[in-house]
Structure 1
Amino acid sequence: MIDKNLSNKIILSFLIIVTVVNLIQSAFTGLIFDEAYYWYFAQNLSWGYFDHPPMVAFLVNLGINIFDGELGVRLASPFLYAANVFLLWKLIETDKKYKYTWLFMAFVSSIGLMVAYGFMILPDTALLTFSLLFVWAYKRFLLKKDTISVLVLGFSMAAVMYCKYHGILLIGFVLLSNLALLKNSKFWLATAISLVLYTPHLVWLYQVDFAPLKYHLFDRANSAYRIKFTLDYLVNCIAVAGLCFPLMYFAFYKLPSKDKFDKALKFLGYGVFLFFLFSSFSRKTQAQWVILIVIPLILFTLRYAYEHENYRKWLFRISVFSVILILYLRVALIYQPISPIKYEAYGNKKWVTELKDKVKGIPVVFHNSYRDAAMYGFYSEGGTVFSSNDLHARQNQFDLDSSEFKVRNKKVAYLTGNHEYLIDSTVSIIREFKNHKIRGTIIDSLKTYKKMKITIDKDSFKNKVATNFSAELYNPYNETIPTDSLTYAAVFYDTNKRGIKVIPLLVDNSSAKIKKEETVSIQVKIPDTVVIPEIQYFRMGIIHNGIYPGFQGEMIKLDN
């Protein structure tokens, strides 16, 4: 006889123990670079950020207001992981789960990436939780369509979109699996609730001129197809499932859909897989992008295991082996000497402390490294920091927020990891991860104009690169800027938006100075000595302490 009460007590005890273990792990494992970056987000709460919607920042801010250090940053993660396990348990409808409780615990503990989200705070940490909540609400909605299911469905749709933009894939594929939802008034009510809850972020997007969407959809560089991209993607799909991946994918493929809920899970699994498979044709993918497929994989795997004894035995054996391996790796994250690799969480506090001592606490500006900037900001315990980005890298939150104003016209340490810059350096340190040398110099008064805007007459670039063209220069700063202090350059790009050549620009200013919040006209000329290659895109900017221009101008596509 199956003792349901005993089984539920075992699950509850498991959740409590795992949560405590994850809290300890969170406190004693160094931050990885992405976590430090999200800590930086949380220093100034907003309804959105350059790279992601605000959920990860909200969760980090909640934690750092309760605890200091790494535990504060990650405080939400152990509880979100417990919610993941609880929701998975609730989503399994057969009573056989009570008979195989230990299989469930071993199996969910064997999925490495999901386990890592139990003590690391990333956008996908909450995305997985609210996706499971959405799946639970959808299952209930199919059965009852009651007030609870409508409210939770609406809330969870907004929540997944507050985590990551590709949360739309979850909603979209579930909707595609059941188009009859479009005729259901209660589904539209749930949708209306989600839109109301999501409105603050939509307003924020409008206020920043949709900068994040422009970057992700239009400005982000692609690559010519390489088979390695697709092979790496397939490896990622294996990695996200863990060592049980053959059994998981087999069960997902083998079991048919028996109802609308199963059909939604199938659409979600195949849809996410195919979507990012096509993405691999133009760019490198990352394992966490496909994290949503673990939901249907887990549910179908357990369902198949409950009905097939030999399959069940192998699933349990591989799961137990995986758990032992994961436990070893988790200890290695805390105790570096037994680690088989040099991981990015190691040694960051050491290099930050060393650098802070060398620069004597003055503001630090990192060239093209929001990762190092954020890590320095965290381990220097709130030291003033900025990432000065140019077209050799990509834009990030430091371009969108007001952090530049904290270092403008100030004495700073200007550092770079790119050896093309600052050859005569006076400050240097070695970052343990990748044995990376960071070096730079002290600048008595940093001149930076990241917020200036250059607007070019795009009609001049309809069919070819214009060698002479007009533009407008806007000064948003609360000061008058001598126009002869500005140095301009442009970058030529290929069809994949990869920079192929940097060129100087000759600029004739209509005014010797540009006053605060003033716009002036400039005439721009490409020097006659410049050989113009075959290109697809053109972008102009202002050079700061380097050889690449900044992001002051928009990317212009040539109609050739």
Structure 2
Amino acid sequence: MQHATLNNTQAQVKYNRPVVYFLLLWTLLNILQAYTLELHADEAYYWVFSRMMDWGFYYHPPMVAVFIRIGDTLVHNELGARLITLLSSTLALYLVWLMLQRYAVSAKWFILFMGGVLIFHVYGFTATPDAPLLFFAVLFYFFYQQYLDGDSWVLAIILGVIAACLLYSKYHGILLIGFTLLSNLKLLKRGSFYLTVVLAFALFVPHLIWQYHHNFPAVNFNLFERSSGGFDITYGFNYIGAQLLIGGPLISWFLFYKAFTTKIKDAFMRCLMVNAAGVFIFFYLNTLKVDVQPHYTLIAFVPLVMLALINLKQREFNPIWLYRLAGANIILIVAFRLCLVAGFSFLKENGQLASYYGFRDWAKAVHAKAGDHYVIMKDEYQNPSKYCFYTNSLKGFAYDSRYYRTTQFDMWPFEDSLQHTNVYYLTQDKIHGVTTDSIDVTGKWYGGWVNNARTYQKVICKAAVDTITAAPGQQQAIDLTITNPYPFTIDFSNKGAVHPLAMEACLYLGDDLAAVQPAANDFYNLPPIKPGGQVRYAFTLKAPVKKGSYALFFSWRTEPFEGSRNSTIIKLTVK
């Protein structure tokens, strides 16, 4: 009996050993890349999230900030910011291996397939919300597999916590939860299932409260701003091509074919099938109205690869041509990653990859000019975030003008702190009388000082109506309620001001700015507004002569800035 047990143990060690070596190499490659490659712009943005911890952010829930904060607390560099991401990636792959053992999947094919999915490589070291989403998705599958084996209140509690973590990682987590339930409606007959639901919801309530207090910015952004567009036949083709690329440039076609021809023999396999098919179909349907970003389907590739591996075992499929193709696929991906580490010039000049290079030196050059003063950049959150990370400060600020969209910088208190101080304005265009310096790092930059800065980016302007119909040239009074969200009193007077204020109505016809109409002089005589206070103002708008459907919003502008977007869009129809 002892001899048999020893043989089983030795066989298990031999079975697992190649996977252990693979995971070790996987981790080392991710450490190398995480340490040598500068932060991508989005990673730097999420690093700022980690310095401004909250229950929510404009685009995403806060789990990515937690991941980054833990590593950055240990060491402030690129590796620190990515540390939890790369460790969770290795653990996720190991958990997938454990789940597949009951199907007697080959270690060789596990390594070739899991190591050949390009998107797993990307989020093996990249610190974005997709990294915790991937980890908690795998963790959910791992414990759900055990929950199917036997009803357990303990497992129900664990699944409830994981489900909440999924939602705190990225809103896409709701797809995994929903499709899992759809694959097994018998869960509704388990009392413990309702504990999972209630616990997940209870843990997610703080984020919902945060959304409520901030007027549901994530709902507005994801359902309206990001989804605004229209049908374009190329979206669907782009989506399919992108999925074949990120699934592994040489083997993705085989993964899709094998995964979706797998014989379903248990509830867990059915869960994998419904999740894989459901996520891919869901986002394909989204291409009917918007250009879907390729990585949105990340959580679908876990069940896809698992099903493909199970299929190989079911059919005892082991062709030498596939082995060679999968090996070449991994070599291609790893070679590309090593080229990124080496930083060849042709990669630095690529628009998608340029963000990984040169910004450490750029931040030093800018800091040499600005010192500890705020540095303002317009219409982007990326470079202000990079400046913050590489100076380990919160002195980079994104001025989101009327021509841009809202970002998290519009919600943070950065702007509060720079009022009536001297700030350094950095732009890629010369501004007469402002820009006196030039910086030749990562492109041509121009900078200059703005003394006694005055901005109104957070002022809230709400119109009494959201649609207006007018005849060409007709004048209409629009009743506005103006709210002061700052912790200090504000006023709009230009008396003695270094940078006069202009309150303006901006009218867009399609993508073109058709007209800008200033407020009457009485606007600048409005009384000061205390923190949280409001004033009413009747803005007299003259409808354009040209008939059409216009987008109207109100903007507060002070030189040398281009003016912020301070109201929601009002639909103006001129007929």
| TM-score normalised over the length of structure 1 | 0.91
- Tell me if the contact between 1:333 and 1:339 (Cα under 8 Å) persists in the aligned partners: no
2:271 match: 264
Counterparts of 1:149 and 1:326, CA distance in 2: 38
Alignment of 1:380-419 (within 5 A): 380-382=391-393, 384-417=395-428, 419=429
Contact 1:510 1:520 survives alignment (8 Å): no
Hey, what's the Cα distance between the residues in 2 that align with 1:311 and 1:494?
Answer: 60
Partner of 1:19: 27
Q: Does 1:457 align with 2:476?
A: no
Partner of 2:155: 149
1:262–1:315 distance in 2 versus 1, CA, 3 Å: same
Match of 1:472, SS state, is: strand
Distance 1:499 1:258 in 2: 57
Given the alignment of the two structures, is residue 505 of structure 1 paired with residue 518 of structure 2, yes or no?
yes
> What aligned pairs does 1:268-307 form with structure 2 within 5 A after superposition?
268-307=275-314
Checking the alignment, whether the CA contact within 8 Å between 1:374 and 1:385 is kept in structure 2 is yes
Q: Is the 8 A contact 1:541 1:552 kept in 2?
A: yes
> Does 1:39 find its partner at 2:47?
yes
Once the two structures are TM-superposed, the CA of residue 164 in structure 1 deviates from its matched residue by: 0.6
Of residues 117-126 and 464-473 in structure 1, the stretch that sits farther from structure 2 once superposed is 464-473
Distance 1:427 1:532 in 2: 43
| 8 Å CA contact 1:409, 1:445 repeated in 2 | yes
Q: Distance in 1 between matches of 2:573 and 2:190?
A: 45
Structure 1 residue runs of 5 or longer lacking an equivalent are: none
Partner-residue secondary structure (3-state), 2:344: helix
Q: In the alignment, which residue of structure 2 is the partner of 1:441?
A: 448
Identity among equivalent pairs (%): 26
483-492 vs 155-164, which moves further: 483-492
RMSD: 2.7
Q: Tell whether 2:370 aligns with 1:359.
A: yes
Query: Which whole-Å CA distance do the structure 1 matches of 2:373 and 2:461 have between them?
Result: 31
After superposition, the Cα gap between the structure-2 partners of 1:148 and 1:457, relative to the gap in structure 1 and judged at 3 Å, is same
Give the match for residue 526 of structure 1.
Answer: 541
Alignment partner, residue 139 of structure 2: 133
107-116 or 437-446: which moved more? 437-446
Q: How many residues align?
A: 551
Q: How does 1:173-192 map to 2 (within 5 A)?
A: 173-192=179-198
Selected match of 1:205 from 196, 207, 211: 211
In the alignment, the residues of structure 2 paired with residue 402 and residue 441 of structure 1 have an alpha-carbon distance, to the nearest angstrom, of: 23
Instruction: Please tell me the residue identity of whatever aligns with 1:415.
Output: L
Deviates more, 1:329-338 or 1:82-91: 329-338
For the 8 Å contact 1:510–1:521, the answer to whether it is kept is: no
Q: Any idea what the Cα deviations from partners look like across 1:361-405, whole Å, max 9, x if unmatched?
A: 432001011101001111123261110102311111101111112
- Among 189, 192, 202, the alignment partner of 1:196 is 202
- Listed as ranges, the matches of 1:274-353 within 5 Å are 274-308=281-315, 312-337=319-344, 340=347, 342=349, 343=353, 344-353=355-364
The answer for the alignment partner of 1:467 in structure 2 is: 476
Q: Distance in 2 between matches of 1:460 and 1:511?
A: 28
2:130 aligns with one of 124, 132, 140:
124
Paired AA for residue 48 in structure 1: G
Residue by residue, what CA displacement relative to the aligned partner does 1:418-446 show, whole Å, maximum 9, x if unpaired? x49669632333453xxx44334310121
Partner Cα separation in structure 2 for residue 438 and residue 226 of structure 1: 36
For 1:241, which of 243, 247, 250 is the aligned residue?
247
- Offset at 1:95? 5.2
**Aligned counterpart, 1:80:** 88
8 Å contact 2:136–2:165 — kept in the other structure? yes
Which residue of 504, 509, 513 maps to 1:489? 504
Q: Is the 8 A contact 2:112 2:327 kept in 1?
A: yes
Closer, same or farther in 2 for the Cα pair 1:312/1:125, shift >3 Å? farther
Structure 1: distance between partners of 2:54 and 2:541: 40
- Displacement of 1:200: 1.7
Question: SS state of the match for residue 330, structure 1?
Answer: helix
Determine the C-alpha separation between the residues in 2 that align with 1:95 and 1:184. Answer: 26
For 1:426, the equivalent position in structure 2 comes to 436
Contact 1:474 1:520 (C-alpha < 8 Å) held by counterparts? yes
CA distance in 2, matches of 1:420, 1:533: 36
Q: Which shifted more, 354-363 or 39-48?
A: 354-363
Structure 2 residue aligned with 1:49: 57
Q: Is the 8 A contact 2:363 2:391 kept in 1?
A: yes
Deviations 1:243-273 (A, max 9, x none): 2111101112222332332222222122211
Cα distance in 2 for partners of 1:23, 1:214 equals 37
- Amino acid corresponding to residue 243 of structure 2 in structure 1: C
Structure-2 change in CA distance of 1:525 and 1:20 (3 Å): same
Hey, what does 1:71 align to over in structure 2?
Answer: 79
Are the equivalent residues in 1 in contact too, given 2:466–2:569 (CA < 8 A)? Answer: no
Matched residue type, 1:8: N
> Aligned equivalents of 2:315 and 2:324: distance in 1?
14
Task: Give how far 1:118 is off.
Answer: 1.6
Change (3 A) 1:159 1:383: closer
Q: What one-letter code is carried by the residue in structure 2 that aligns with 1:267? A: V
Secondary structure in structure 1 of the residue aligned to 2:290: coil
Structure 1 CA distance, aligned partners of 2:295 and 2:320? 28
Aligned to 1:253: 260
Give the secondary-structure state (helix, strand or coil) at the position aligned to 2:376. strand
- How far apart, CA to CA, are the structure 1 residues paired with 2:418 and 2:506? 26
Deviation at 1:331, TM superposition (A): 1.9
Q: Which amino acid aligns with 2:414?
A: S
SS at match of 1:254: coil
| Aligned partners of 1:60 and 1:75 also within 8 Å | yes
How far apart are residue 228 of structure 1 and its match?
A: 2.4
Residue 175 of structure 1 aligns to which amino acid in structure 2? L
